[in-house]
């Protein structure tokens, strides 16, 4: 193994079917022992599962459940073994051997379930191998055992934020601030994670409360009226209470599963939730430069684009006469790389829209994406001419840039590569 390669964690090697079966048998034996009140025996069975498959949240969760129960004291021979394991564990930590940490720490926890150093290193090792749910399980247990450990609280709060658990992260950062109120870094983290800065004036909050009560009362009087649910959801959304608004719209969908307005509102709320998450992630990236934050942003951006396309497509099919909705759906399809479907949508446009400079540019980009380069070049030039005629300088310039780059690639010895089909 080279110096730059990470060691394999126990479950990154391929466990055979027989090995997995043995672990499952140990897991069932541990569960049975715990049900019968034999917590020590249960922990000794489950610790093998955790050490061999550290990313398995089921094993971790049940092992932690064992640690809630009294464990028999270690005998002399066992204490000597634990001392040797402790030395090996400390050596693994010093050498940043995270795979060894995952293997050595769980047995030590059986007799020291609230050891903050053990728990923090276990979580860190899980983070290195991207065992994200297991990492959070260890950190939640650690902060519950040691609610006054500022280092653990900060580790947990940071990890939660990196995984997009911003509400939970904010709560832990707030607890962390109680122990060091003057820590400017903690204050900065809290400020970044707050989605609603400031409080509503008392009279406004009271008015909103009265309105919400009235809307809920109306639903109680007419539980089959979808409009009542949507009105309440709209009010909750305006107050920034997106989770509650989504629950209300889900009730509306349950009342009338085929109602297009309710289904569309549900899609819109989920889209708003993702936008809020993405906004928070981008703000958090200013504070935390860890690669996991960039991965979070990339994942949320992909999810945002998918949901935007789903909603735009749904609306365009509901309102085929609405030119703006048809245009938005086509643009999002092109962004998603669905060039053939985009071309099909453009062909269905009214003639004046299909022949507009922007639509011609969109069509040329799709043809280029399908590697129909000569046709794309011709349409780019048509788009530029139409844009010049309409005094649409930005579209004309973009079409000219695309055409120039494509023509240069076509005259070169090699055809355009895939990067030429990626448009901003």
pLDDT for 424 beyond 70: no
Q: Tokens 């009010």, residue?
A: 235
Which residue's entry shows tokens 């399908």?
370
Q: Exposed, middle or buried by CB within 10 Å (0-12, 13-18, 19+), for 304?
A: middle
7-19 average pLDDT score: 67
Cβ(169)–Cβ(193) below 8 Å: yes
338: CATH: 1.25.40.10
Q: Give me the domain span that covers residue 287.
A: 214-309
CATH number for 101: 1.25.40
Establish if 2 belongs to a structural domain: no
Q: Six-digit token pair at 384?
A: 């530029």
Number of Cβ within a 10 Å radius of residue 233:
27
Domain edge (last residue) among 309, 339, 356:
309
Question: Same structural domain for residues 301 and 329?
Answer: no
CA gap 385, 395 in Å, rounded: 10
Rounded CA-CA distance 86/112 in Å is 11
Q: Per-residue pLDDT tens for 66-123?
A: 999 999 888 888 889 889 999 999 999 999 999 999 999 999 999 999 999 999 999 9
In this prediction, residue 200 has a pLDDT band, given cuts at 50, 70 and 90, of: very low
Model confidence pLDDT, tens digit, residues 172-198:
999 999 887 888 899 999 999 986 443
Considering the domain architecture, whether residues 158 and 220 belong to the same structural domain is answered as no
Same domain, 15 and 128: yes
Instruction: Share the mean pLDDT of the chain.
Output: 89
303 and 356 together in one domain: no
Residue 103 included in any domain: yes
Residue 284 within any structural domain of the chain? yes
In a domain, 199, yes or no: no
| Same-domain pairing of 97 and 26 | yes
228 with 154, same domain?
no
Give a yes or no: residue 178 inside a domain.
yes
Please check whether residues 155 and 77 belong to one and the same domain. Answer: no
Residue 313's pLDDT is 93
For the cut 90, the answer to whether the pLDDT of residue 201 exceeds it is no
pLDDT level of residue 211 (50, 70, 90 thresholds): confident
The helix/strand/coil state of 172 is helix
Residue 99 lies in a domain: yes
Q: Average pLDDT, stretch 158-180?
A: 94
pLDDT, position 180: 79
Q: How confident is the model at residue 241 (pLDDT cuts 50, 70, 90)?
A: confident
* 370 and 302 together in one domain: no
Q: Taking residues 391-396, what's their average pLDDT?
A: 96
State residue 423's pLDDT score. 66
Cα 206 to Cα 203, 211, 213, 215: the distances in Å are 5, 9, 11, 14
In this structure, is residue 203 part of a structural domain?
no
Tell me the pTM: 0.80
User: With bands split at pLDDT 50, 70 and 90, how would you rate the model's confidence at 11?
Assistant: very low
- pLDDT for 206 beyond 80: no
Assess whether 49 and 96 both reside in one domain. Answer: yes
Contact yes or no for 416/410 (Cβ under 8 A): yes
Q: What is the pLDDT of residue 362?
A: 97
Tell me which of 309, 338, 363 is where a domain ends: 309
3-class DSSP state for residue 165? coil
User: What is the C-alpha separation between 325 and 315, in angstroms, rounded?
Assistant: 7
* Confidence at residue 202, expressed as pLDDT on a 0 to 100 scale: 43
State how far the Cα of 59 lies from the Cα of 119, in Å rounded to an integer: 16
- Total domain count, the chain: 4
Q: Is residue 300 part of a domain?
A: yes
Q: What percent of the chain has pLDDT over 70?
A: 91
Q: What is the spatial distance between Cα 192 and Cα 197, in angstroms, rounded to a whole number?
A: 10
Q: Which of 254, 287, 309 is the last residue of a domain?
A: 309
Question: Are residues 304 and 269 both part of a single domain?
Answer: yes
Asked whether the beta carbons of 251 and 263 are under 8 A apart, the reply is no
**Contacts of residue 46, Cβ cutoff 8 Å, sequence gap at least 6:** 26, 27, 30, 59, 62, 63, 66
Q: What is the pLDDT of residue 183?
A: 86
pLDDT of residue 6: 46
pLDDT tens-digit series, residues 31-59 = 999 999 999 999 999 999 999 999 999 99
The answer to whether 312 and 281 are in contact (CB under 8 A) is no
Asked whether residue 260 falls in the same domain as residue 342, the answer is no
Q: Which residue has the tokens 């309440």?
A: 232
- DSSP of 80-111: HHHHHHHHHHHHHHHTT-HHHHHHHHHHHHTT
Judgement on whether residues 96 and 162 belong to the same structural domain of the protein: no
């Amino acid at each position: 193994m080279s110096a730059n390669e990470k060691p394999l964690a126990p479950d990154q090697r391929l466990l055979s079917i027989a090995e997995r079966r043995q672990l499952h048998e140990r897991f069932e034996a541990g569960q049975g022992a715990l049900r019968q009140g034999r917590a020590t025996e249960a922990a000794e069975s489950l610790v093998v599962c955790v050490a061999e498959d550290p990313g398995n949240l089921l094993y971790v969760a049940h092992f932690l459940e064992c640690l809630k129960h009294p464990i028999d004291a270690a005998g002399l021979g066992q204490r000597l073994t634990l001392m040797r394991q402790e030395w090996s564990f400390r050596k693994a930590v010093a050498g940043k051997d995270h795979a060894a940490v995952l293997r050595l720490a769980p047995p030590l926890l059986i007799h020291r379930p609230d050891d903050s150093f053990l728990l923090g290193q276990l979580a860190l090792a899980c983070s290195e191998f991207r065992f994200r749910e297991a990492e959070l399980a260890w950190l939640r247990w650690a902060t519950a055992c040691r609610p006054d450990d500022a280092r653990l609280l900060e580790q947990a709060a940071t990890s939660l934020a990196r995984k997009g658990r911003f509400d939970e992260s904010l709560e832990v950062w707030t607890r962390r601030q109680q122990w060091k109120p003057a820590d400017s870094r903690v204050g900065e983290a809290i400020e970044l994670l707050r989605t609603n800065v400031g409080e509503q004036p008392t009279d406004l909050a009271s008015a909103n409360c009265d309105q919400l009560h009235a809307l809920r009362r109306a639903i109680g009087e007419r539980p089959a009226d979808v409009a009542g649910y949507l009105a309440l959801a709209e009010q909750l959304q305006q107050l920034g209470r997106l989770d509650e608004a989504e629950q209300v719209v889900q009730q509306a969908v349950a009342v009338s599963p085929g109602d297009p307005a309710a289904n569309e509102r549900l899609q819109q709320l989920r889209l708003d939730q993702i936008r809020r998450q993405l906004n928070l992630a981008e703000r958090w990236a200013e504070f935390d430069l860890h690669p996991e934050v960039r991965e979070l942003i990339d994942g949320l951006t992909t999810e945002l684009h998918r949901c935007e396309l789903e909603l735009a497509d749904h609306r365009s099919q509901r309102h085929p006469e609405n030119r703006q909705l048809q245009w938005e759906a086509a643009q999002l399809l092109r962004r998603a790389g669905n060039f053939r479907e985009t071309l099909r949508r453009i062909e269905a446009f009214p003639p004046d829209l299909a022949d507009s400079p922007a639509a011609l540019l969109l069509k040329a980009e799709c043809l280029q994406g399908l590697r129909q380069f000569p046709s794309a070049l011709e349409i780019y030039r048509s788009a530029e001419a139409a844009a010049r005629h309409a005094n649409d300088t930005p579209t004309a310039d973009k079409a000219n840039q695309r055409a120039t780059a494509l023509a240069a690639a076509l005259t070169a010895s090699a055809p355009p590569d895939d990067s030429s089909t990626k448009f901003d």
